Amino acid sequence: MPVSYLRTLSESKRTRRANVHLGVSLAFVAGAINAGGLLAVLQYTSHMTGIVSSIADNLILGNLVAAAAGMASVAAFVSGAAYSTILVNWGRHHRMHSAYAYPLFWEALLLLGFGLLGNSLDEHRALFVPVTVLLLCFIMGLQNAIVTKISNAEIRTTHMTGIVTDIGIELGKLVYINLGTESARYQPVRTNWPRLGLLVALLAAFCLGGVIGAAGFKYVGYVTTVPLAAFLVLLAIVPMVDDARTRTRLLLRQRLRANGGGRHREAPPPLT
């Protein structure tokens, strides 16, 4: 990918095109992580609706341990979203190019942590499964908050319920028959084609990621986290390098100023 294109994906200055491309990319990653999480811990970790419902069910059934686990999962998801928000706002206040790139980089590191934990699941499931569930929920919350803030809540990458609902709304507009004449009182119903295309792309990317992630975790194992993490680093690396270069230039300027402009003035020749 061209460096200029990678820079637009996660830098602070945003365009709708960059938001869409980043959103579709992260929907793919979310689908892969969600599918891998199911194979690893037998639980979808981006599905907060189902987890909250299970909390209510387990409370009524008296399964307090399961209810507490569900509450911890929700808390981890919320914590991930909160941490992502802190990183983004800190980057904005410091006018950094990588305000949105740092959360992606952290997601890559945590995803590698999931891969390392996965190697211990079979031998120590009682210990590592709860930790893995919380880690995956944290990752999902962190990622969803990134794109939500970037797109002003227009794009979400883990919440397929809302996306499928919005697709249904746009399809309903498509088949609606407008009988009246357009006027100030009657506005004909029209499909928002750009929005419908975005929604379908997000859903397709999530499904494709799920298929590839499930196949990877089934046939290759937790090594599948490595290319996913590398992909996230690729999305984030250019703005981070830009900030590193900016900091280096500032340090050099400060040193030059401290050294009197970087030139040692020679003493004038003696008068003759």
pLDDT in tens, 45-82: 877 888 899 999 999 999 999 999 999 999 999 999 99
pLDDT in tens, 207-254: 999 999 999 988 988 889 999 999 999 999 999 999 998 888 888 888
Model pTM score: 0.85
The pLDDT assigned to 129 comes to 79
The pLDDT assigned to 40 comes to 78
111 vs 41, higher pLDDT: 111
Nearest residue to 140 via CA among 87, 204, 78 = 78
**Domain range list for the chain:** 1-176+189-244
The pLDDT assigned to 206 comes to 94
pLDDT in tens, 148-202: 888 887 888 877 888 999 999 999 999 998 877 777 677 888 899 999 999 999 9
Amino acid symbol at 4: S
Q: Tell me the average pLDDT of the chain.
A: 86
The pLDDT assigned to 124 comes to 65
Please give the torsion angle defined by the CA atoms of residues 115, 231, 108 and 145, in that order, rounded to the nearest 10 degrees.
-120
Q: Provide the pLDDT confidence category of residue 127 given band limits of 50, 70 and 90.
A: low
How far is C-alpha 132 from the chain's CA centre?
A: 18
pLDDT reading at 255 higher than 80: yes
First to last CA, the chain: 67
The pLDDT assigned to 133 comes to 87
Give the CA distances from residue 74 to residues 69, 70, 113, 148, 241, in Å, rounded to whole numbers and listed in that order. 9, 6, 20, 18, 34
> What share of the chain in percent tops pLDDT 90?
48
Element (H, E) at 250: helix 225-258
How far is C-alpha 156 from the chain's CA centre?
A: 9
d(CA 209, CA 193) in angstroms, rounded, equals: 24
